[in-house]
Structures are given as C-alpha cells and as structure tokens.
Amino acid sequence: MCKCGSRNIELALLGDLYFEYEQIHYPIENPSLIAVIKLRMYEMGLTQKGIAELLGISAPRMSEIMHGEIEPSLALARKMCLKLNISPATVLGI
C-alpha cells in the first residue's frame, strides 16, 4: 500500500505551520516611501537631484521628502506612481 498521499498531507501541513510561524515571528513589513525612492534612484542611476528633475520638483523639495519632513502632494504622488513605478499604496503609506 502506497503512503504517498499521507506524505503529501504531512508535507502540506508542515509547510502551513512553517508559513504561520514566519508570519508571527518574522513578519515582513511594507517598505517606506523613502526606501523605495532610494531603490529607484539606484536602479535608474539617478541622484536625488535627477529624481527631482524627473518628477518636476525642486531639489530642496525632494530633499524634504527624502528626510521625511513633508509628504508628497496628491499630484506628486501620482507622478511618483507613473514615473518611478511605485505602487499607490506605498506612496500613500497604506
């Protein structure tokens, strides 16, 4: 009699237990907007000034966003989504 079916069930149960354990003890949080912008800067080979130019804002305003001093406006958030390919949820912090 083949026990392949019971082994598959055991493997599935162990996989589920492992997944639940990781979710409880090692949850992966959503990245911050600043972290995602820094990643895009690296990926695109741009400086903070280059990102500011791409988004059509001043370098000092981009600096304020990168230091968490101000939040992007709704219009700027839309540009970030479109030009930097950042999800709306990340840009809006939800």
For the 33-92 domain, the top CATH level (class) is mainly alpha
- Segment 64-81 mean pLDDT: 94
The CA-atom distances, in angstroms, between 63 and each of 34, 82, 85 are 10, 20, 20
Give the integer Cα–Cα distance in Å for 33 and 36. 5
Residue ranges of domains in the chain: 33-92
The pLDDT of residue 92 is 85
Give the integer Cα–Cα distance in Å for 79 and 72. 10
pLDDT digits (tens, 9 = 90+) for 4-49: 677 888 889 999 998 999 889 888 888 899 999 999 999 999 999 9
The pLDDT of residue 71 is 92
